[in-house]
Amino acid sequence: MHATPLLRTVSAALLLASLLGGRLPATPPEVARAIAALERAAAVYDEPAMRTAAQDLTRLGRASLVSLTQLLTNENANVRWKAVEAITQVGVSDPSLCAPLVARAHDRDADVRGATAVALARLFPNHAHTCATLGRLRQDPQPLVRVHACGELWRIQHDTNSLAALIAALSDPDWMATREASRRLARIGDPATPALLALLKGGPLRVRTLAIDTLAAFERLPGEAVAPLVELAWCEQPVLSEHAMLALAMSGTPGASALRALCSAPTAGRRARAVSLLGTAGPSADIPSARLLRALCDDAPAVRLAGLGAIARLRRSDRAILRELPRFLRDRQPDQRAAAVAALEAIGPAARAALPALRQLAQNERVDYIRRAAEQLVQRLALQPSSFSTGSSGGP
């Protein structure tokens, strides 16, 4: 005869209670309230409320473990899922938890099975049941469950087959599985680099861009990835070029020189994106002021706009740049005028040299938000420089 859910709940709770002193403790009021909140939220799949309730149970620590163990057999799959996650976060490797968690690896709900793979690996990494269960979940019919199992097997055993499976998962049609595989590969880092670089060479566009994004998410971009990314940044496929440029920007110094070269690309869109990304990269990109001045003189409005944005983010206050900015306050395009005001505001007290042009803009501008921004900046610049709240200007 099969045990009913109620009998399984009581059995699991009694098992845990026997290891916590031989008796089933009363449920603390805070735990009861968090459980009630979790069950209410799960009934309507209110994900933020479920997350909050699970966090509350996690915060209560050991006091919530008996109740969380009971929830492992709750009739609502969302409750079971969050109970497994909360047990993992509490982080108590009590032997009484192992068997109830192994049972959840057979749960009919994929989220529960995936969370169980993580729980067993984190709480009982050396237990024989953990390795056997993860090996079975690596063949699960649901792609996301397989990814969780493979990721944990790599983490506790450095299993190369699991690493290969994570690489293969980047090609899975299930976007949740590919996102999780990418996240886990980025955490694995260097051991995943050769396989990711191989994906850059060809194949479906979606997989190649995901491989780029995974490399960009590494704690440190591998040196051997810079050259292939530079090549892709110059390629004619705009999606690959965009993702490669963004990865180079996130790599700091190694990718900055490539982006500086892309500022002279033949296509205006690529020049604009390179200038913009260099501005976002900050001082580590070491973008020369001469490069910014060339952007301000570019034939393409998009590149000039990117140059103004980069000046604002870098807070460059070179005399040559300050001489150029007032003419943008008279530009025919509103976005150029607005960007010039923003750049001058970011520069701070040194922008006082542009006060005459700013006053003229504040008097004559027809676009309300630009006029108000100019008026406010004129008032701020009219104050003593020491009372102007801003950051330091960039280097030459």
Taking the C-alpha atoms of residue 10 and residue 33, their distance in angstroms, rounded to an integer, is: 20
Over residues 290-303, the mean pLDDT reads 94
- Dihedral angle at the C-alpha atoms of 364, 370, 372, 376, nearest 10 degrees? -100
One-character DSSP codes across 186-235: HHH-GGGHHHHHHHHTSS-HHHHHHHHHHHHTSSS--HHHHHHHHHHHTS
DSSP single-letter state for residue 353: G
Lowest mean pLDDT among 17-26, 231-240, 242-251, 272-281: 17-26
So what's the pLDDT on residue 177? 97
Q: pLDDT digit string (tens) for 3-57?
A: 444 334 444 444 445 444 544 455 789 999 999 999 999 999 999 999 999 999 9
352 burial via Cβ count (<10 Å: 0-12, 13-18, 19+) = middle
Q: pLDDT digit string (tens) for 79-125?
A: 999 999 999 999 999 899 999 999 999 999 999 999 999 999 999 99
Length of the chain as a residue count: 396
Over residues 237-255, the mean pLDDT reads 89
Lowest mean pLDDT among 21-25, 148-152, 247-251, 298-302: 21-25
So what's the pLDDT on residue 254? 76
Which residue, among 260, 267, 312, has the nearest Cα to 288 in the 3D structure?
260
Taking the C-alpha atoms of residue 27 and residue 18, their distance in angstroms, rounded to an integer, is: 15
Q: Radius of gyration over alpha carbons of the chain, in Å?
A: 29
So what's the pLDDT on residue 33? 94
pLDDT confidence tier of residue 284, bands split at 50, 70 and 90: low
So what's the pLDDT on residue 344? 95
Residues whose CB is less than 8 angstroms from the CB of residue 274 and which lie 6 or more positions away in sequence, other chains included: 245, 259, 260, 262, 263, 265
Residues whose CB is less than 8 angstroms from the CB of residue 326 and which lie 6 or more positions away in sequence, other chains included: 340, 354, 356, 357
Count of CB atoms within 10 A of residue 55's CB?
Answer: 15
Lowest mean pLDDT among 31-45, 278-292, 320-334, 369-383: 278-292
Which residue, among 208, 179, 178, 205, has the nearest Cα to 196 in the 3D structure?
208
Q: pLDDT digit string (tens) for 187-208?
A: 999 999 999 999 999 999 999 9
Is 165 within 8 Å of 152 (Cβ atoms)?
no
So what's the pLDDT on residue 2? 41
Q: What is the mean pLDDT of the chain?
A: 89
Q: Which residues sit opposite 394 in a β-bridge?
A: 316
Which residue, among 281, 285, 284, 279, has the nearest Cα to 316 in the 3D structure?
279
So what's the pLDDT on residue 26? 58
Distances (CA, A) of 187 to 57, 183, 215, 221: 27, 6, 10, 12
So what's the pLDDT on residue 396? 36
Q: pLDDT digit string (tens) for 321-346?
A: 999 999 999 999 999 999 999 999 99
So what's the pLDDT on residue 170? 97
Which residue, among 127, 194, 182, 107, has the nearest Cα to 151 in the 3D structure?
182
- Assess whether pLDDT exceeds 90 at residue 376: yes
pLDDT confidence tier of residue 310, bands split at 50, 70 and 90: very high
Paired tokens of 20: 């916590």
Over residues 131-153, the mean pLDDT reads 97
Which amino acid belongs to residue 332?
R
Instruction: Give percent of the chain with pLDDT exceeding 70.
Output: 89
Distances (CA, A) of 356 to 20, 36, 140, 321, 324: 77, 65, 70, 16, 14
So what's the pLDDT on residue 282? 63
List phi, psi (to 5°) of 232.
-70, -30
- Assess whether pLDDT exceeds 50 at residue 374: yes
- Assess whether pLDDT exceeds 60 at residue 183: yes
Is 254 within 8 Å of 221 (Cβ atoms)?
yes
So what's the pLDDT on residue 281? 75
Residue with tokens 């209410």: 40
Paired tokens of 43: 């009934």
Which amino acid belongs to residue 34?
A
pTM, rounded to two decimals: 0.79
